[in-house]
Structures are given as C-alpha cells and as structure tokens.
Amino acid sequence: MASLSVPSAPGINTPSTGTQRTRGTSAMDFKSATTGVAAKAMRNELNRMVAEVKDPLQKKVFDAEMQSFFSLFNRYLVEKAKHETIQWDKIRPLAPALVPNYSDLPEVTNDKSILDKVVVLKLNGGLGTTMGLSGAPKSAIEVRDGMTFLDLSVRQIEHLNEVNKVNVPFILMNSFNTDDETQRIIQKYANHNIQILTFNQSRFPRVGKESNLPIPRTATSSKSEWYPPGHGDIFDALSNSGLLDKLIEAGKEYMFVSNVDNLGADVDLKILKHLVDSQAEFIMELTDKTKADVKGGTLIDYEGQVRLLEIAQVPSEHVEDFKSIRKFQYFNTNSVYIHLPALKRVMESEGLELEIIVNNKVADDGTPVIQLETAIGAAIKHFKNAHGINVPRSRFLPVKACSDLLLITSDLYSLEHGKLVMNQKRMFSSVPVVKLGDTFKKLGNFKKRFRTIPNILELDHLTVSGDVWFGRGVTLRGTVIIVANEGSRIDLPDGSILENKLVSGNVSIIDH
C-alpha cells in the first residue's frame, strides 16, 4: 500500500527532526505545528482503515479515495492555519469578450464530425431527500408525463443519436448513495439506441469538527459516516475509474457535463462548435441573474485569471456586493464543456487544486462534523482559453424543490424529444416566481394538494402558505398570494380563476 504522507510546512520542526522547539513561538508557528499533528493523526487513521481491507481490488479503490481525501484534508488544514481569504479589491467582472452571448454564436447545421467526439455526462449523485424521497436517487422522480429525469435525459440523447446518425455515449456519475438503485433502473434502457456508462464519485469520511479525525472507524462503517465530496470530485473519480483514458482511446474529445435535474441542459451544437473554433479547453454556461439567483456562483477576473467565485468564499462585509446584479450580471448554471485531452494533461502535470467548500453538518448522534467539498466549475482556472457563455434561461431549468416542479409540470411547457420547450402563448420570456410553503415541501403532499396542476400561462408571482388545497382546472394570473392562517384551511374550488388576488385565512378574496 502506498503510505499517505504529510507535506512538511516550511520552518516547522517536527519531533522526528530531533530539534528542540523554543518558547515564545508566534501564533502562526503554533497553528502550523497543530496542523502537522492533525495531519499526521488523520494519516495514521486512514492508513489503518486501508490496511484492514482484505480484497485487493477493493483495497486499491479505497486507497485511491483516501489518498485524494487526505490531499484535500491537508490542504484544508494549511489554508485554515494561514487564514487566507480572497482579496475583494482584486476581483473584477469578466470582460465581455470572455462571456459571449449565445445569440451571437453562428447557427450550425448538424455536424457529425463534432458529435462523433462528444460524450454527455450527468451528475447523478444526489438523493431526493429535500423533496421527501429518502433513499431514492433524485433522477428517479417523475417530473413530466410519467417520465423521470433519467427517462428525459435518455430520450434527449436517443433523439440526438437518431437524427445525426451518431453514437454519443451517456455517462452517469453516481454516488454510493445512488449507484445500486440507478443500476437497477437503467436496465430498462437495454433495448434503446443509447450506450450508458456509469462510474462512482469518491466516498470520503466525515470529519469530527473538534477532533479533526474521521468519523468512520472502518471502510465498511455506516453510510451515514461518509459523504460524496461534491461534483468537483468528477476529475479524480473519472481518472481513478480508468474511464477518462478509455474515452480518449475511443476518440472522444469533448465532454458536456450538467446536473441531472436541469431539464434545459441538452447537447447544443452552437456551443460545441464555438468550443472547437475558439480552442477553449473549458466553457461554462452562465445565465442572467434574477433576484432569485443572487446567491449563485459567478465567473470573475482575479488577477487576470478566470475564476469561479462562490458565495461561501466571499468575506461577510462584501456579500451584498456579491449579490449585486449590476456588478455580477451572470451566475453559474453548472453546465460545462471540457476538452478531455486537456483534462488528462492538466491532471498529469500540474494537477487540479479546487477551492475547498467546508460544509458543516451534524451527525446522527449529534456530533458536529465537517464535509470538505469542491465544485466542478472551480477547475476553470486550470484550462487554456477558458471562458463563459451567456445562455438563455431556457437552458437552465433545475428542479430543486416542489415549487420548481409546479412550473415544469404546468402548461408553461411542453415536451419535445425529452426537452422542455416554453409555450409560445406565454407573453413573457421570464418564468413566474413560485414560492410554496412547507405544506407543499414533500412530493407526496404536493401531489395530494393539487388535484390537477393549475393553469399558469399568465402568472407572474405565486406565494402559497399554510393548509391550502387546489381543485381541478384552477387558473392563476398576475400576482396571487394565498395564505391560510394557523388553524385555517383554504380549498380552491374546481375551475377557480384568481387574477391579482390575495386569499386570506377566512377565504375572503380581495383585489391585490
């Protein structure tokens, strides 16, 4: 087994050197020494867990994961000791040339020569827990016409292959939480015109916030003691699985990556052609911010380098600046295009050092823990000619909550070959703002409370709070606010039409 090692910090004497530590060391020296001790303790725990794995193949996989985790953990300790933060006065919005508008890209007819080199990857590591589906992959949620996220993605790729006479592979990056169920589900696509490949992102140990030690004691400890370390892990996982090399050997050069719950993210030839023509090794789709997106990450110019800036990296005194739509016009949709040979070059030469996102959690027994995660977009700084593209909102249709589900199951959209298309009768290009209260949070409650999905073609804003039930064929227009006070219940009769109305707990309807 390759032993994990702790990089020595400059100027720090460890006990093994035989040098006696002098009194009166600075706070930085103390932090650095503490960092070395914590790293060594973590290294020993990880080595012990790896050594206890008996199966050679499982041991190799687990060892690679722990090597990746230890590298991330050690970097976290070093950065924490230095207390380095981003310098706000060095941040600049990207020059317009680095965020061309999608509408300005030249139209492209079917280009088989490019599509033959393309693979599509969906990030499929998340569960549907926030929508009340414990244990099931989010991609298994039915979202439209009885079809799941996976069904729609498969239909999109299948249509692409049929129309262009190509064989674009469809790849799923699963997590240890979603892999078993996903493998069972994808069996139903065996007779479809699509090649489906899967691999798993890494499994990292949760870390005790106070102890700085792994929560799991063995490689087979409970699932709840491990976590998938964010979509930035895609690079290590793709490489460790051997899939990156296999794709390149098969002549694949371009990979389109997006979240499995983004129903607007499909293969776009205009963007692919731009990727090739501009010789960009990495492109990120951005879209215009609205008030609902002010917390979303954005691309910036940082000392002449294109970087992803997430709200977690922003000093507290500048959070409002970060949210400003005037200063930062776009936000990251998490749909990216990557040149695979460039990815292999970067990983083999300089490696990828992605900004660490510290996610504070509480374990089942109440122990405060941390999860060290990374984001895929943070890799943009490592690639040549990397930039963003400002795409229309139609390419960003995520389903994060039941409020989003109301929109995509409504008459606002129709389905075309697995892709959602905005109803041409909608007078505005913007999507209504929908805020459903806690009683609609779980998918089961959402389905019960809407006998049918309301007609919202002319809706601008909807807020619903409390014990509210919708009958069949309800129409909502303009701004509609429905609030059932505690102990009250509101039932909207079949065929109700609400236009610019406030409905309160006593079911009185007044103009709004």
- Is the pLDDT at 10 greater than 70? The verdict is no
Token readout for 251 is: 């002549």
Q: How far apart are CA 42 and CA 66, in angstroms?
A: 10
Token readout for 266 is: 């499909």
Distances (CA, A) of 143 to 98, 139, 148: 35, 9, 5
- pLDDT band at residue 311, thresholds of 50, 70 and 90? confident
pLDDT at 2: 43
Q: What are phi and psi of 193, to 5 degrees?
A: -85, 65
Alpha helices in 52-97, H assignment, sequence order: 56-82
pLDDT in tens, 47-101: 999 999 999 999 999 999 999 999 999 999 998 888 777 889 899 888 999 999 9
Token readout for 312 is: 């977690």
- pLDDT band at residue 17, thresholds of 50, 70 and 90? very low
How many other CB atoms are there within 10 angstroms of residue 303's CB atom? 9
What stretches of 366-422 adopt beta strand conformation (E)?
368-373, 387-390, 413-416, 419-422
Token readout for 32 is: 């650095």
- Structure-token match 């964010």, residue found: 230
Beta bridge partners of 173: 123, 199
Q: How far apart are CA 354 and CA 308, in angstroms?
A: 10
- pLDDT band at residue 510, thresholds of 50, 70 and 90? very low
What does the pLDDT average to over 306-329?
A: 87
Q: Three-class SS of residue 93?
A: strand
Residue 408: CA atoms inside 13 Å, Cβ hemisphere, count? 29
Beta bridge partners of 483: 465
Q: Which long-range contacts (C-beta less than 8 Å, at least 24 apart) are formed by 457-461?
A: 457/410, 457/411, 457/412, 457/423, 457/425, 457/426, 458/427, 458/499, 459/432, 459/434, 460/428, 460/432, 460/433, 461/432, 461/433, 461/434
What does the pLDDT average to over 149-170?
A: 95
pLDDT at 87: 87
Name the DSSP class of 494.
Answer: T
pLDDT at 506: 57
Select the more confidently predicted residue: 173 or 327: 173
What does the pLDDT average to over 162-172?
A: 95
Token readout for 168 is: 């674009």
Radius of gyration of the chain (CA): 25
pLDDT in tens, 450-505: 999 999 999 999 999 999 999 999 999 999 999 998 889 999 999 999 999 999 87
45 Cα distance to chain centroid: 30
Q: How far apart are CA 46 and CA 496, in angstroms?
A: 62
- E strand or H helix that includes residue 334: strand 330-339
Q: What are phi and psi of 132, to 5 degrees?
A: 90, 15
pLDDT in tens, 209-257: 999 999 999 999 999 999 999 999 999 999 989 999 999 999 999 999 9
Token readout for 477 is: 């227009």
What does the pLDDT average to over 428-444?
A: 92
Q: Which long-range contacts (C-beta less than 8 Å, at least 24 apart) are formed by 478-483?
A: 479/512, 480/512, 481/512
Token readout for 344 is: 């292999």
Distances (CA, A) of 19 to 12, 26, 342: 10, 17, 45
Percent of the chain with pLDDT over 70: 92
pLDDT at 233: 95
How many other CB atoms are there within 10 angstroms of residue 196's CB atom? 18
- pLDDT band at residue 21, thresholds of 50, 70 and 90? very low
- Decide: 449 and 439 in contact? Cβ < 8 Å: yes
Q: How far apart are CA 183 and CA 123, in angstroms?
A: 15
Task: Work out whether the CA dihedral 161, 391, 409, 421 comes out positive or negative.
Answer: negative
Task: Work out whether the CA dihedral 76, 78, 82, 85 comes out positive or negative.
Answer: negative
pLDDT at 483: 95
Q: How far apart are CA 242 and CA 97, in angstroms?
A: 36
pLDDT in tens, 178-201: 999 999 999 999 988 899 999 999
pLDDT in tens, 116-130: 999 999 999 998 888
Bridging pattern class, strands 330-339 and 282-288: antiparallel
Residues 6+ away with beta carbon under 8 Å from 445: 132, 439
135 Cα distance to chain centroid: 19
Name the DSSP class of 450.
Answer: B
- Structure-token match 């739509």, residue found: 325
The distance in angstroms from the start CA to the end CA of the chain is: 69
- Structure-token match 């991609």, residue found: 139
> Treating both helix axes as pointing N-terminal to C-terminal, what angle do 27-51 and 56-82 enclose, rounded to 10 degrees?
170
Instruction: Give me the active site residues, please.
Output: 400
- Decide: 251 and 115 in contact? Cβ < 8 Å: no
3-state secondary structure 242-295: CHHHHHHHCCCCEEEEEECCECCCCCCHHHHHHHHHCCCCEEEEEEECCHHHCC
pTM: 0.89
